[in-house]
A and B are shown apart, each in its own frame.
Chain A
Amino acid sequence: MKRRNFVQASLALGSMGSLASMVACSTTGRIPEKARVVVVGGGYGGATTAKYVRMLSNYQIDVVLIEPDSVFVSCPMSNLVIGGSKNMADITTPYDNLSGKHGVNVVRDYVSGIDATKKTVTLASGPSIRYDKLVLSPGIELMFNSIEGLKQASASGQILQAWKAGPETSNLRKQLVDMPDGGVFAISIPEAPYRCPPGPYERASQVAHYFKQNKPKSKVLILDANQDVTSKGTLFKKFWADNYKGILEYIPQHNVTAVDAKTNTLKFEVQNDIKANILNVLPTMRAGTIAVQSGLANANGRWCGVNYQTFESTQAKDVHVIGDSILPAPAMPKSGHMANSHGKVVAAAIVAQLSDLAVNPEPFLTNTCYSFVNDKYVVHVASVHQYDSKDKTYKTVPGSGGLSAAPSELEAIYAWNWAQNIWNDTLS
């Protein structure tokens, strides 16, 4: 029996034997010469893909997940750490269950190169791994050079982004705690598309809530390169007017071109300079570095074009790209929930292709995105994206999706439960 037929037979039979016996042979950390599936990046997209390739193949297809960090720190909910109602431990999950429970071989390393012709990835530590299918989920790269002076100010730790959750998240919290009452926190937002459209507005709300409780003479400035709030605009603006009047100021159409770290000043394309005690500068973003370096970012050199049915790159065969790195279909947000959804579609497509089965002709994706406007009230936006085989793209289903009617405590309970369940679905 050919191996792929064996996989097919096993898929038909359902799970064969106990899970424990099948994953007992997992060899986490060992670097194999070859894996049928190699996944790069252990965020919402990559970790979900690794787990679901294992699950959907009934543990017949071996998966290597390459991730440099020792633990998963969630971007969604990280604004609560900045606001002070959660801590880093609350948003951190280990990778242990991916290996122990699902037999994913988690290799802690960076990928330094991809050869799509020879079908190999090379690790920063030296070895190469051959693959049948490669999935890239490298998130975003912050283009520090798009703002004069930002690279140095970021490297010195003075001007933080905290857009990749981790040490900068707690460092930004510390800057806020250390700031005297009467100070100014300024967050700048790049032109869309960027990771997590409502994230900057949620962060500004969290900081405003912290100031209102603890430093009432302080101010929050939002300097947005966009024409208007890019997500949940009416909900955010109403909550700000009702709750943060005199604390939070929203200023659209302000595109930061330079920072002066010596004087903590933002410089703009058109308008006058603005000084603040704390600058939280979000530069323009593009696909994760490895995707750009490998020539996969074929849309304006920033985002990776994919065949949306399988998420296979339009640039390289058997290389699939998911999550924030892709050129999105219309109205498809760059979010953790969406990356998790991509992970399931790509996992099913790869299991089908490696088993000589038809690929799902009509996949669909869901997205639910919650934002905390203070420590107890939440608003959401939701959407459903159906693949259209004629136009070869995802389209939001007419009449579906939408926003919260108003901020509510009930949705705050659901939001935190959403986080716990999606962390479990992605990693455990």
Chain B
Amino acid sequence: MNVYNRFSLCTFVLLMCSVATSHAQQTATALHQRANAAMCSNCHGTEGKTVDGSAVPSINGMPKDYMVLQMKAFKDGTRPATVMHQLTKGLTDAQIESIASYYASNKR
């Protein structure tokens, strides 16, 4: 194996390692996002699907922009609530975006 080939093999291995690392990071981020979003499912059902006849609405498949607007309206008090105004005040805007993205990506 000449020097060039050795170099290119090293580059290839490093590149693959970096692809694997970035892949692992993405997988971890997706896992954390899903687990964080599951904090809603105590009331809104697993994967955002409530039981039949529930007054608490399902949130799976809800359009992201709509959900973000509603969560922020609860948070700033413009949408009245019994409990959601208190819970959304515990979330950052980034957490709200992440949760809304997760449920928007779920099929109804």
Contact = CB atoms under 8 A, between A and B. Distances in A.
A51 B42 CA distance: 13
B10 interface: no
B108 interface: no
Interface stretch (B1-9, B11-19, B28-36, B65-73): B28-36
Contact of A397 (B41, B54, B90): B90
A425 B55 contact: no
A424 B45 contact: yes
Nearest to A422: B42
Interface in A342-401: 344-345, 347-348, 351-352, 355-358, 360, 363-366, 368, 380, 382-386, 396-397, 399-401
Contact of B82 (A11, A396, A408): A408
Interface string B82-106: 1100110111000100000000000
Interface residues of B, number: 34
A128 interface: no
B32 A348 contact: yes
B90 A366 contact: yes
Contacts of B87: 366, 368, 382, 384, 400-401
Among A337, A352, A384, A401, max chain B CB count under 10 A is at A384
B39 A380 contact: no
Contact of B54 (A12, A345, A348, A417): A417
A243 interface: no
Contacts of B25: 358
Contacts of A402: 86
B43 A422 contact: yes
Given A56-B34, A368-B87, A397-B89, A424 B43 contact: no
B55 A413 contact: yes
Given A337-B42, A421-B44, A363 B36 contact: yes
A351 B51 CA distance: 27
Nearest to B37: A344
Nearest to B26: A12
Nearest to A358: B28
A360 B83 contact: no
B10 to A, nearest CB: 22
Contacts of A404: 82
Given A11-B27, A368-B87, A425-B46, 12 more contacts: A12-B26, A344-B39, A348-B31, A364-B91, A366-B42, A384-B86, A401-B89, A414-B82, A417-B43, A421-B42, A421-B51, A424-B46
